[in-house]
Amino acid sequence: MARSNEVNLNECKMVVPLNTWVLISNFKLAYNLLRRPDGTFNRHLAEFLDRKVPANATPVDGVFSFDVLIDRGTSLLTRIYRPVTAEEPLPDVAELEKPVTAEVVPVIIFFHGGSFAHSSANSAIYDTLCRRLVGLCKAVVVSVNYRRAPENRYPCAYDDGWTALKWVNSRPWLQSRKDSKVHIYLAGDSSGGNIVHHVALRAIESGIDVLGNILLNPMFGGEERTESEHNLDGKYFVTLRDRDWYWRAYLPEGEDRDHHACNPFGPNGRSVEGIKFPKSLVVVAGLDLIQDWQLAYVEGLKKAGQEVKLLYMEQATIGFYLLPNNNHFHAVMDEISRFVGSDC
C-alpha cells in the first residue's frame, strides 16, 4: 500500500513545478484535516488556516479593490476590483463606485472555487486571480463571497450568485457607455464553475443578458463512476472520496449525485436547447479526475446547439491557474482575454 503511494507522489511531482506542488499539497493536507467522516466541517480551523488579504483602495499594479455588502440579510459580501484609468490614476476615495468611462467595460462576476466548502472572496489565491483578470480583460471584476457548505447547502450558493448578478446588473456605474447596459460575464473555478452554469440558467429565465460563461475546471459529477475517476483517483492531489464528501455536503440531504446541481445534463438535468444560453469557455485539466464529467458538460452544451469552446490542457493538474509558472496558465489567460475581448 505504501509502495503504490510512493509511486503516485512521485508522478505528481514530475508534472508541476515544485512550488505549485507544495502549495496544492498543503491545501490537500489542510483540507483533509477539515473534513470530518460524519460530514461535518471544521469551519473554525478552516478560517484559521485560510490565507486572506484585505481589500486595497490604493492601486497595486493598476488595480484597486474594495468590499461591498450587497445583502445584509445573508451578509453577502462582494469584493470589487477595478482598473485605474489614464485620466484618474488614483481613485477618489469618496467615489469608489464612480461610473466606468470606457465605451465597453466587461464586468466579470467571479465565483471562487473550493468545492463549495473552502475559500472566500478574500482568500489570497483568489484575490490574486481576480486582480489578474482585471488587467487581462480590461474588466471590472466582482468576486462573490457566497455561502458555503455544509452549513449552507444547495441552493444557497446559487441564490447568492443570483443576488450578485441582479445587483451588478442594476448598478448604473457599471453600465458601458456604448449602450448603457452592464456587459456581464460569469466566471469561476471548481465549484465556482458549477455556480456559473446555474446562475446563467436563472439569468435566462429572468431576462438578464449574460455575454459569456467562463468555467475553469468546473465541478460536476454523477452517480456513475467514469473512466477518468477510476484512472486518476488519488494520483494528482484529488481523490474520489473527497469529491464524494463535498457533494454530500452541498447537495440536499438524501439526494444523490444525479441531482441536477451536480449533473446538469444527467437524468435529472435541464436541457438548454432552444434557449439563449451564453457562449461558454470551458477549461479542462487533463489530469483532473472529474474530466469526464466536464467533457460531458461540453458535449451537453454542443448537443443543445449552444456555442462552447473547450480548452483541454493535457498535462495540467487542478489549480494550475493559481500560479503563473507554467504554460497552461499563460495559454488559458490568453484565451480568456480573447473570449471577453471579442465583444468590444
Partner 1 sequence: MPLYDSASSSAGSCSGSSSSSKPPPPPLPLQQDIDGLLAVAGYKIRSSELQQVAQRIERLETAMGNSPADFSQLASDAILYNPSDLAAWVDSLLSEFVQPPTCSSEFIPGPVNNGSTTAESHTPPVQQNITYEQRTLDNQLTVVTATEEDSGIRLVHMLMTCAECVQRGDFSLASSLINDMQGLLARVNTVCGIGKVAGHFIDALSRRIFRGIGGGSVGGGGYAFESEILYHHFYEACPYLKFAHFTANQAILEAFDGHDCVHVVDFNLMHGLQWPALIQALALRPGGPPLLRLTGIGPPSPDGRDSLREIGLRLAEWARSVNVRFAFRGVAASRLEDVKPWMLQVNPKEAVAVNSIMQLHRLLGPDPVRNSPIETVLNWIKDLNPKILTVVEQEANHNQPSFLDRFTEALYYYSTMFDSLEACRVQPEKALAEIYIQKEIGNVVSCEGSARVERHEPLAKWRRRLSGAGFRPSPLGSNAFKQASMLLTLFSAEGYSVEESEGCLTLGWHSRPLIAASAWQAVAEAGSSAACVG
Is residue 209 annotated as part of the catalytic site, yes or no? no
Please report, as residue ranges, which positions from 322 to 341 form the binding site for partner 1 (by CB under 8 A).
Answer: 322-325, 330, 333-334, 337
Q: Which amino acid, one-letter code, is at 293?
A: W
Strand partners, 215: 188, 282
Q: Which is nearer to partner 1, 19 or 271 (CB)?
A: 19
Query: Measured from the CB of residue 185, what is the shortest distance to partner 1 in angstroms?
Result: 15
Smallest separation, CB 307 to partner 1 (Å)? 22
Smallest gap from residue 50 Cβ to partner 1 (A): 8
Annotated catalytic residue, options 120, 143, 176, 190: 190
Burial of 277 (0-12, 13-18, 19+ CB in 10 A): buried
Stretch (H or E) spanning 330: helix 327-341
Nearest Cα to 122, choosing from 53, 188, 59, 63?
A: 53
| 96 binds partner 1, rule: CB under 8 A | yes
Of 78-86, 182-190, 221-229, 272-280, the window that binds partner 1 (rule: CB under 8 A) is 78-86
Across 136-208, the runs of DSSP E, i.e. the strands, are: 140-144, 183-189
Asked if 103 and 177 count as a contact pair (C-beta separation under 8 A), the reply is yes
Q: Which listed residue (15, 105, 108, 125) binds partner 1 by CB under 8 A? A: 125
- Record the cell numbers describing residue 267, joined without a space: 437524468
Q: Does 42 bind partner 1 (CB under 8 A)?
A: yes
Q: How far is the CB of 327 from partner 1 (least distance, A)?
A: 11
Choices 51-59, 103-111, 199-207, 291-299 (CB under 8 A): range interacting with partner 1:
51-59
Kindly indicate which of the ranges 11-19, 179-187, 280-288, 298-306 contains the residues binding partner 1, using the contact rule CB under 8 A.
Answer: 11-19
Q: Which stretches of the chain are assigned E, i.e. beta strand?
A: 63-71, 76-83, 106-111, 140-144, 183-189, 212-216, 279-285, 308-313
User: Which residue, 38 or 253, is less far from partner 1 as judged by CB?
Assistant: 38
